[in-house]
Amino acid sequence: MPSDRVSPLNGLDVRAWMRFTRSWFIHNPPPRSRAELRHPAKFPEAVARSAIEFFTAPGERVLDPFAGTGSAVAAAAAAGREGVGIEISPEFQQIAAARPELSDQDKVLLGDARSALELLREAGKAPVQYVFTSPPYWNMLRQGRGGVESARRKRDRAGLPNEYSELSEDLGNIEDYDDFLEELAALLAGLRAVLERGRYLTVVLQNVRVRSGEVKPLAWDLTRLLAETYTFKGEQIWAQENKPLGCWGWPTEFVTNVHHHYLLHFKHDREVRS
């Protein structure tokens, strides 16, 4: 197998290419900083960086429309890419924008990701060559059941917020599942206006269990909707080994200990008829 050739997509050799394309991987996030603990669902930089280094070349621009505390933007900067994020919460936007890893060219913009095209154009950050994001997992943070309820009580005792924000525009505050799914799919489909043709979108998501015990197939439902505007290229499973097991459902009801997320990969390579 030739080893002197590199990919025009990312500059990786064939062995590095093969390692990334395995459909599962294990990553246990390290402890967070004090500022990052304010965010109830902070994303690990290492997972974002691995994807960014595969789907882009050095110097290209990466967008995270749900920037949170800036994990993906910082990962892009560390990988030698230009990171740009959009965050609706003023508190988290300030934390993200103040990260010391960011250079002058990396930006975290305050605003609603539904207005990504206008925000990026105004900031001189359009187009982008890759979108990597982890949106709200519906209103899972507000669901009082199992491990979520236990985590809520722990954060309450520590004086930490349990929701992304109280803003009505925040997708994580939409109560109806179908309404949330429609809003999220429309927002991500709209990013085709800023994502260069032929480039990729990665969405990190889980299926979610609600109070009744039903599991909503959020990752699969979103994939079905986004496949109307992008080409779905497959999923990767990010597994965690260090989460403690909970005794959910015992002794009569099957309830999974969910220790994995999906990385859903899409390509912007199709014409969509209106």
Q: How do residues 16-74 score in pLDDT, each as one tens digit?
A: 999 999 999 999 877 656 655 554 556 789 999 999 999 999 999 999 999 999 999 99
Q: How do residues 130-169 score in pLDDT, each as one tens digit?
A: 999 999 989 876 665 555 556 556 545 655 455 567 888 9
Q: How far is 159 from 164, CA to CA, in rounded Å?
A: 14
Asked if pLDDT for residue 118 goes beyond 70, the answer is: yes
pLDDT of residue 271: 80
- Total-model pTM: 0.90
Tokens 């093969």 sit at which residue?
18
pLDDT of residue 39: 47
pLDDT of residue 32: 57
pLDDT of residue 253: 94
pLDDT of residue 205: 96
Q: How do residues 79-88 score in pLDDT, each as one tens digit?
A: 999 999 999 9
Q: Is the separation of the CB atoms in 117 and 109 below 8 Å?
A: no
Q: How do residues 204-241 score in pLDDT, each as one tens digit?
A: 999 999 888 899 999 999 999 999 999 999 999 999 99
What does the domain layout of the chain look like in residue ranges?
Answer: 14-267
Asked if pLDDT for residue 103 goes beyond 90, the answer is: yes
Q: Is the separation of the CB atoms in 117 and 193 below 8 Å?
A: yes
Which tokens is 24 given? 């599962």
Q: What average pLDDT does this structure show over 98-105?
A: 94
Q: How far is 1 from 250, CA to CA, in rounded Å?
A: 51
pLDDT of residue 211: 84
Query: Within a 10 A sphere around the Cβ of 32, how many other Cβ atoms?
Result: 13
pLDDT of residue 155: 46
Query: Within a 10 A sphere around the Cβ of 177, how many other Cβ atoms?
Result: 16
Q: Is 258 helix (H, G, I), strand (E, B) or coil?
A: coil
Task: Of 144, 230, 139, give the one whose Cα is nearest residue 179.
Answer: 139
Q: How far is 160 from 252, CA to CA, in rounded Å?
A: 34
Which tokens is 3 given? 């080893």
The CATH class for the domain spanning 14-267 reads alpha beta
